[in-house]
Amino acid sequence: MIALENAAYNYGGGELLSDISLRLAPGSFHFLTGPSGAGKTTFLKLCYADLQPTSGRVTIFDRDVRTLTRDDVALTRRRIGVVHQDCQFLDHLPLAANVMLPLTVAGKMGDAQDVSDLLGWVGLSQLADARPPSLSGGERQRAALARAIITGPDVILADEPTGNLDWEMSLRLLTLLVELNRMGKTILIATHDLNLIRQAKAQVAARVLRIRNRRIQLAGADL
């Protein structure tokens, strides 16, 4: 699905990520950990073609991101659900319209029932008509997850999706992601919440990647 070969990235002040080689196989479940500032968000941006590697190669759905036109990037993003760390919404539209946005921009009619089911799943049924600025951090993150999965993407990338959630809600969200994985979706979650990772390992065969010294390594049983 997504493959990196000797990929490196640098914002201009020395390499942040170096010599990264990794394949996200279809149906796999990965966690990505590392201290704050290690480059987790940057890594995810490489995976959804928001950034291009400064060296090496990133391939998404078998296409080198350097060969993608702007329209190709748009089409690629429709197949990847991303929960962004800063979860941005269109503040002038109600939450339900925001959750449907990926369908809207793709020219598809959203099924109102699907949207309300999805909002129910993430516990936001009451807030379908609320404007995003009035939501709490946790509510925004749940809404961001709903928006990420509404198109039924093949891959789901989540950047600190439980950062603002209490433990109970974190577990609910994890359960949802595990369920999506069982349906065949490829999942990558960036988090520094080790409890969440332990909890997940009890439910699914998840691999844990750790960014250390600009490189990615597979974490062992030390978690």
Partner 1 sequence: MTRGSFDNPLKADLHADRVVPPTGFTARLTVFTSLAMTFLAVFALALSMAAGRLAERWSDSLQGTATIRISAPQDQIDTQVAAVLALLTVTPGIASARALEDQEQRDLLAPWFGPDLPVDALPLPRLIEIKEDSAGYDAEGLRQRLTAEAPGAVLDDHTRWRRPLAVAASRLRLLGVTSIILITCAMGAMITLAANAALAANLQVIRVLRLVGAKDTYIVRAFVRRFTLRAFSGAIAGALLGMGGVALLPGVDEAGGFLTGLGFQGLGWLFPLLLPVLAGIVAFAATRFAAFRTLKGLP
Ligand X SMILES: Nc1ncnc2c1ncn2[C@@H]1O[C@H](COP(=O)(O)OP(=O)(O)O)[C@@H](O)[C@H]1O
Binding residues vs partner 1 (CB under 8 A): 50-51, 69-71, 74-75, 77-78, 82, 84, 88-93, 97, 101-102, 104-107, 147, 151
Q: Cα–Cα distances in Å, from 119 out to 12, 87, 93, 140, 218?
A: 40, 16, 16, 12, 35
Nearer to partner 1, 19 or 50 (CB): 50
- Report, in Å, the least distance between residue 46 CB and ligand X: 10
Q: Are 157 and 47 in contact (CB under 8 A)?
A: yes
Given ligand X, partner 1, Mg ion, none, residue 34, with its beta carbon under 5 to 8 Å by kind, binds ligand X
**Interstrand relation of 63-64 and 55-60 (parallel, antiparallel or unpaired):** antiparallel
Q: Examine residue 16 and tell whether it contacts ligand X (CB under 6 A).
A: yes
Q: Examine residue 110 and tell whether it contacts ligand X (CB under 6 A).
A: no
Nearer to ligand X, 85 or 175 (CB): 85
- Report, in Å, the least distance between residue 130 CB and Mg ion: 26
- Report, in Å, the least distance between residue 109 CB and ligand X: 35
Residues 34-93 that bind ligand X (CB under 6 A): 34, 36-42
Given Mg ion, ligand X, partner 1, none, residue 165, with its beta carbon under 5 to 8 Å by kind, binds none
- Report, in Å, the least distance between residue 20 CB and partner 1: 20
Given Mg ion, ligand X, partner 1, none, residue 39, with its beta carbon under 5 to 8 Å by kind, binds ligand X
Given partner 1, ligand X, Mg ion, none, residue 11, with its beta carbon under 5 to 8 Å by kind, binds ligand X
CA 151 to chain centre: 14
Nearer to ligand X, 73 or 128 (CB): 73
Strands (E), the chain: 2-9, 17-24, 29-33, 55-60, 63-64, 80-83, 155-159, 186-190, 207-212, 215-218
d(CA 82, CA 70): 18
- Report, in Å, the least distance between residue 116 CB and Mg ion: 31
Given ligand X, partner 1, Mg ion, none, residue 206, with its beta carbon under 5 to 8 Å by kind, binds none
Burial of 205 (0-12, 13-18, 19+ CB in 10 A): exposed
Q: What stretches of 122-193 show up as alpha helix (H) in DSSP? A: 137-149, 167-182
Residue-wise burial string across 51-68, b where 16 or more C-beta atoms lie within 10 A, e elsewhere: bebbebebbbeeeebeeb
Residue 36 makes CB contacts below 8 A (sequence gap 6+) with 192
Write out the residues near ligand X by the rule CB under 6 A.
11, 16, 34, 36-42
